[in-house]
Amino acid sequence: MKTLLRILLVFCLMGLVLSCGLFSETDSGTETATETNDSAGSEGSGSENPDDEGKDEKDDESEFTASEEAKPKHQNTKVRFLKGKVSRSYTGSVVKGGSHSYTIGASGGQQLSVDMRSSSSDLKVFDPAGKVLSNAGSPTDFRSTLPSDGTYKVVISNPAKEDKYSVTFKITGEIAKKPDPPQSGGLTKTVKFSKGRSSASYKDAVIRGERNRYVLGAQGGQLMAVSIASLENNAVFQIRGPKGYLRGAGPGTDKRSWSGQLPADGKYTVIVGSTRGNATYTVTFSIR
C-alpha cells in the first residue's frame, strides 16, 4: 500500500514538472514574436518619415535656387529703335549690388537723352572710349550732344537693394557733317571740247608740292590720249578713273604721255604735278 502511494506521488510530481516547463516555453515564444513584430513595425514607420522629409527639403531648396538664378546680377540689352521712331522705353529691375547695361549706337553731333524713373537706382552714361559723361548732377536723367561716333553705354545700378525702374532713350538731331579730307592745293578744271573738236589744250602752271586736276567725262571703250610739255621739262601727270588709277598711269609712274582704251563710263581725272620746283606747262587731251 505504501509502495503504491509512492508511485502515484512520483507520477504526480513528474506531471507537475512537465506542465510547468511547457507553459513557460509557450509564453516565452509568444512574447518574443510580439516584440519582434512591434520592433519591425516601429522601424518601418521610422524609416519612411525621414526620407520623405529630406525629399521635401531638397525640392524646396531646388525651387529657391532656381528662383535666385532667374535674376542675374549683371544684365545687358542693346537698344533698338522701331522703324520711324527716335525713342524707345524699357522696364526692368536690378538686384542688390547688380546692374543693367544698355548699349546704343549714335553719331557725333546728335543729342542723346535718357530719362529713368526708380525709387533709388543710379544712372551713368559712358562714351565709346569708356569715359563717364557728365549728367549735370542728376542721378536719373541725362541730356547731352554726343562728342563722337560709336557705341554708348548706359548703366543702371543699385548698391543698396533690389529695385524696379523704367527708362526711355531718345536720339535727335542730324549727324554732324564731317569735313572733306584735306587736299593739296592747286586748281581744278573741267575739260571742255569745242564744238566739232575731239581735243583740247590748257596752258597752266603748278607750284611745287601742289597738284592741278583736270576732269573729263568719257565712256568705256573710247580711246583717250594725254600729253604734257613744260619749259623746265619737270611737269608730269597721273590718271584716275571711276574705278581707280589707270594701268600705267598710277602713283609713281609720272607720265608725260599716255594713251589707251578707257575701261568704264564715268569721270576721269588727270592730276598734274612737278618733279622739281615750279612748272609751267601745256597739257593736251583727246578722246575718240
Q: Are residues 161 and 229 in the same domain?
A: no
Is residue 92 within 8 Å of residue 164, measured between CB atoms?
yes
**Positions in the chain whose pLDDT score sits under 50:** 22-48, 50, 54-55, 57-68, 179-183
Q: Which domain holds residue 231?
A: 188-287
The total number of structural domains in the chain stands at: 2
Last residue within a domain, chosen from 141, 172, 203: 172
Q: What are phi and psi of 236, to 5 degrees?
A: -140, 170
Question: What was the pLDDT predicted at 15?
Answer: 65
Task: Retrieve residue 45's grid coordinates.
Answer: 514607420
Residue 60 placed within a domain: no
pLDDT at 148 (0 to 100) = 87
- Domain match, 240 and 264 both: yes
Q: Are 279 and 204 in contact (CB under 8 A)?
A: no
pLDDT attached to residue 156: 94
Instruction: Tell me whether residue 68 is in a domain.
Output: no
> Would you state the pLDDT for residue 88?
95
Phi, psi of 89 (to 5 degrees): -115, 150
Q: Of the residues 147, 172, 197, which one is the last residue of a structural domain?
A: 172
140 shares its domain with 192: no
In a domain, 85, yes or no: yes
Which CATH number goes with the domain that contains 227? 2.60.120.380
Report pLDDT for 28: 40
Residue 203's pLDDT is 95
Residue 83 confidence (pLDDT): 84
Cell numbers at 171, concatenated: 536720339
Helix, strand, or coil here: 75?
A: strand
Q: Are residues 154 and 203 in the same domain?
A: no
